[in-house]
């Protein structure tokens, strides 16, 4: 098991490249533990990686689709075989639970397998012929794809980009998050080993590396998952060079609870979408709208269940969820909790510390449930990305829909009701990329179903078939008149 310090270098053309500087990666649940060291890349490293990817692209795009699929299938096996040593490493660098890291690898593996299964049919040239003309519509790979991925679910979010990029004949330069780069980089190195040299390259670093990648003239598309503010900068850089983009950005997902449900029946399922990964998921439930007459019952039911949670290290048996990933987010959420308390809202701190002695050696926060908060308060209108959830009363369903839509975000949402048709009718009025009925968690995702946001939650779709794959190709039409 990789439970001792490890070093991750830059990967260019299937060769590890040493850097002048390395950053330490600490366990967010045991801050005194150094999990590993990661190379800090430069704009020069980005250029070398892009040049290598471009050179590889000239051959990879001409590789028969069946051979590309064979290589991707080999990568699926690599992901599967890597779970034993890399899952615990991922827990130690990003702070999640063991099962969450296993889920990350599992979704990543399934995603690669999915695109290997549908790629051949998608890339086929289409022919159209009538009495006057003959037309062929070819699907050609764009070239080098720049992928920038976050720390919270690095494996599946990377494979959501690797799968469609490779099967359509593109090559890649990938920038992992600086706060969880170890497991995904080791995994990518192993995947790169079953591919031709230069098809996958990895450069680590800060925002400067991201800027160099998004502005490089040989990079033809950017696939980015992260915060809305950074996403806007990525989009601006890409637009300067007319690059295609797929942006999966922040979310402030509402859950609308209708008055025909029993809180006892739905709260356990609802909570799967609230505190998983300590609330650090883009499409986590971040605000709950409850009919005003049942708010107290809902709040009390929720508090009773959340109070049983135990917060501890992700590898600790009995932990419900782990620490936050980094100091910046930890301080942001702590300040948000204090501001909410000072606002006059009812704020309940719940649950217990699994290991009180080690509490101050990690970014641990107990779960919080908030009641009586105003719809336009900060805790409701922002993306908290932490273990705190506001419950907001509404008078009518029309008001609940209005509240749900009054946000700059539009990633996911959910409606909870015993009447499915009623829930569907309400869901159709919500401005979001996805609306789930009586669920809102990892279980809500499905391969082949488009995932992505509207408004400031991004553009483009991942996890889908044609809507995703078409973003990685250019259409080339040839036509002659008879």
Which residues are identified as catalytic? 248
> What tokens does 372 get?
């009586």
Tell me which residue of 181, 244, 248 sits closest to 463, measured CA to CA.
248
Residue 350 has which token pair? 């719940």
CA 348 to chain centroid, in Å, comes to: 29
DSSP character for 258? P
d(CA 305, CA 185): 38
Tell me the CA distances in angstroms from 127 to 134, 140, 169, 275, one per residue in order: 8, 15, 21, 50
169 Ramachandran zone, left/alpha/beta (phi>0; psi -120 to 50): left
CB 337 within 8 A of CB 368: yes
Which residues have CB under 8 Å from 32's CB, separation 6+? Answer: 26, 361
The pair of structure tokens assigned to 433 is: 């990329």
| DSSP line for 384-410 | --SSEEEEEEESSHHHHHHHHHSSS--
Provide the token pair at 381.
């209108």
3-state helix, strand, coil in the chain (%, to 5): 45, 25, 35
Contact 216, 240 (CB under 8 A): no
Tokens of 153: 């679910």
Buried b or exposed e, range 159-177, using 16+ CB within 10 angstroms: bbbbbbbbbbbbbbbbbbb
Residue 55 CA to residue 69 CA, distance in Å, equals: 20
Distance in angstroms (rounded) separating the CA atoms of residues 81 and 341: 47
């Amino acid at each position: 098991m990789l439970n001792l310090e490890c070093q991750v270098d830059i990967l260019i053309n299937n060769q590890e490249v040493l850097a002048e500087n390395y950053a330490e990666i600490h366990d967010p649940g045991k801050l005194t533990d150094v999990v590993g060291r990661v190379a800090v890349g430069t704009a020069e490293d980005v250029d070398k990686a892009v040049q290598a990817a471009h050179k590889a692209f000239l051959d990879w795009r001409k590789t028969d689709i069946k051979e590309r699929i064979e290589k991707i299938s080999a990568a699926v096996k690599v992901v599967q075989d890597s779970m034993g040593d890399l899952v615990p490493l991922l827990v130690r660098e990003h702070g999640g639970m063991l099962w969450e890291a296993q889920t990350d690898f599992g979704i990543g593996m399934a995603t690669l397998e999915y695109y290997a299964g549908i790629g051949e049919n998608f890339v086929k040239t289409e022919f159209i012929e009538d009495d006057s003309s003959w037309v062929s519509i070819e699907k050609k790979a764009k070239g080098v794809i720049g992928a920038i991925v976050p720390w919270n679910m690095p494996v599946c979010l990377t494979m959501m980009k690797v799968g469609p990029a490779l099967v359509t004949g593109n090559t890649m330069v990938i920038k992992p998050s600086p706060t969880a780069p170890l497991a995904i980089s080791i995994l990518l190195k192993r995947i790169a080993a079953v591919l031709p040299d230069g098809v996958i390259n990895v450069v680590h670093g800060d925002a400067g590396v991201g800027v160099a990648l998004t502005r490089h003239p040989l990079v033809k598309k950017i696939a980015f998952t992260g915060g809305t503010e950074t996403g806007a900068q990525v989009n601006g850089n890409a637009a300067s060079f007319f690059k295609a983009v797929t942006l999966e950005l922040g979310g402030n997902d509402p859950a609308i609870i209708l008055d025909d449900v029993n809180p006892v029946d739905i709260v356990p399922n609802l909570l799967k979408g609230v505190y998983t990964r300590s609330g650090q998921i883009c499409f986590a439930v971040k605000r709950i709208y409850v009919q005003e007459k049942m708010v107290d019952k809902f709040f009390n039911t929720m508090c009773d269940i959340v109070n049983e949670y135990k917060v501890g290290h992700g590898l600790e048996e009995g932990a419900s969820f782990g620490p936050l990933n980094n100091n910046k987010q930890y301080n942001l959420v702590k300040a948000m909790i204090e501001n909410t308390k000072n606002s006059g809202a009812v704020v309940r701190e719940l649950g217990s510390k699994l290991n009180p002695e080690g509490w101050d050696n990690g970014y641990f926060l107990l779960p919080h449930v908030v009641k009586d908060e105003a719809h336009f308060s900060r805790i409701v209108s922002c993306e908290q990305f932490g273990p705190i959830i506001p419950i907001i009363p509404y008078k009518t369903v029309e008001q609940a829909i209005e509240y749900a839509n009054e946000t700059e975000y539009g990633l996911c949402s959910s409606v909870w009701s015993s009447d499915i048709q009623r829930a569907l009718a309400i869901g159709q009025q919500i401005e979001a990329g996805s609306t789930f009925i009586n669920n809102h968690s990892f279980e809500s995702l499905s391969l082949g179903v488009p995932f992505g946001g509207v408004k400031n939650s991004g553009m483009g779709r991942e996890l889908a078939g044609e809507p995703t794959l078409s973003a990685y190709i250019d259409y080339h039409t040839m036509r002659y008149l008879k």
